[in-house]
């Protein structure tokens, strides 16, 4: 099946990319990441349009995310029960639940970049758990834009070095993780300093009252 899909990339191009990414967002097992990389490579050779491929990946990701989110809102328990019938999917669902509990909306963004295999499960579980539409959509769209751009550009830039793409992807994931940690640490430090400033202000106020 994978070989057949790759053979269709030059002829179907953006349509295949959009469809495969959309279905992957619904937890349907398709090699969407590799298809996007391959489409980027064909764009470099002039067989496909680069912007059309990137737009297709992005639109497919956003549309798939929204579809999964709405399904999770309307039939969360039923979908979860169906997904957890298979041991491998049950593990992913459990990881998605833990990820959302710890990270909240951050889990949505990270599951579209660093841990993309969790993306559909985060959509289903997050929606079923009551994650608001805006809190889901904003990080989901930003993550989809980052994922689509990077995968298409890697395929476009390194079409003659496809054997090294896996390493490049892992390195990119490491950069994203580091940035996420830095941002998280900065937010935590800002919160701590803000709380300290409030505590100091309250203490000074009490001292003035006592004086």
178: confidence class by pLDDT, cuts 50, 70, 90: very low
Query: Is the pLDDT at 207 greater than 70, yes or no?
Result: no
Task: Give the end of a domain, one of 137, 160, 183.
Answer: 160
Lowest mean pLDDT segment, chosen from 33-47, 78-92, 140-154? 78-92
Same domain, 37 and 130: yes
Query: Is the pLDDT at 52 greater than 90, yes or no?
Result: yes
Same domain, 92 and 179: no
Query: Is the pLDDT at 15 greater than 90, yes or no?
Result: yes
Average pLDDT along the chain: 80
**Whole-angstrom Cα Rg for the chain:** 21
Task: Give the end of a domain, one of 118, 142, 160.
Answer: 160
195: confidence class by pLDDT, cuts 50, 70, 90: low
Same domain, 198 and 127: no
Query: Is the pLDDT at 174 greater than 70, yes or no?
Result: no
* CA distance linking residue 47 with residue 105, whole number of Å: 38
Query: Is the pLDDT at 141 greater than 90, yes or no?
Result: yes
Same domain, 168 and 95: no
> Is residue 60 exposed (0-12), middle (13-18) or buried (19+ Cβ within 10 Å)?
buried
Residues spanned by the domain of 106: 2-160
- CA end-to-end distance (rounded Å), the chain: 81
Highest mean pLDDT out of 55-59, 72-76, 151-155: 55-59
Same domain, 19 and 77: yes
Same domain, 149 and 185: no
**What are the angstrom distances between the C-alpha of 201 and each of 102, 191, 208?**
31, 15, 11
* CA distance linking residue 21 with residue 36, whole number of Å: 8
Place of tokens 């390493």: 167
Looking at the chain, which runs of residues are DSSP E strands? none
**What are the angstrom distances between the C-alpha of 204 and each of 81, 87, 190, 192, 193?**
56, 58, 21, 18, 16
Angle ∠(96,105,124) on CA atoms, nearest 5: 40
Same domain, 44 and 89: yes
Our count of domains for the chain comes to 2
Same domain, 95 and 172: no
Same domain, 100 and 82: yes
> Is residue 209 exposed (0-12), middle (13-18) or buried (19+ Cβ within 10 Å)?
exposed
Same domain, 25 and 112: yes
Same domain, 142 and 170: no
Tokens found for residue 26 = 């619904």
| pTM across the whole model | 0.73
191: confidence class by pLDDT, cuts 50, 70, 90: low
Same domain, 52 and 153: yes
pLDDT number for residue 120: 92
pLDDT number for residue 64: 97
Task: Give the end of a domain, one of 124, 139, 160.
Answer: 160
């Amino acid at each position: 099946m994978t070989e057949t899909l790759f053979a269709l990339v030059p002829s179907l191009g953006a349509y295949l990319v959009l469809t495969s990414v959309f279905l992957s967002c619904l937890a349907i097992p398709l090699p969407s990441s590799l298809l996007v990389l391959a489409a980027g490579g064909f764009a470099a050779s002039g067989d496909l349009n680069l912007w059309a491929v990137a737009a297709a990946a992005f639109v497919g990701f956003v549309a798939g995310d929204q579809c999964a989110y709405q399904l999770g809102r309307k039939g969360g328990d039923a979908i979860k029960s169906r997904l957890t019938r298979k041991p491998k999917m049950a593990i992913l669902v459990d990881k998605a639940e833990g990820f959302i509990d710890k990270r909240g909306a951050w889990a949505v963004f990270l599951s579209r970049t660093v841990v993309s295999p969790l993306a559909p499960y985060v959509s289903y579980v997050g929606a079923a758990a009551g994650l608001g539409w805006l809190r889901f959509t904003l990080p989901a769209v930003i993550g989809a834009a980052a994922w689509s751009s990077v995968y298409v550009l890697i395929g476009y830039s390194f079409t003659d070095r496809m054997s090294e793409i896996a390493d490049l992807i892992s390195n990119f994931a490491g950069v994203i993780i580091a940035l996420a940690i830095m941002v998280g640490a900065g937010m935590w430090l800002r919160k701590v300093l803000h709380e300290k400033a409030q505590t100091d202000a309250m203490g000074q106020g009490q001292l003035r009252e006592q004086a």
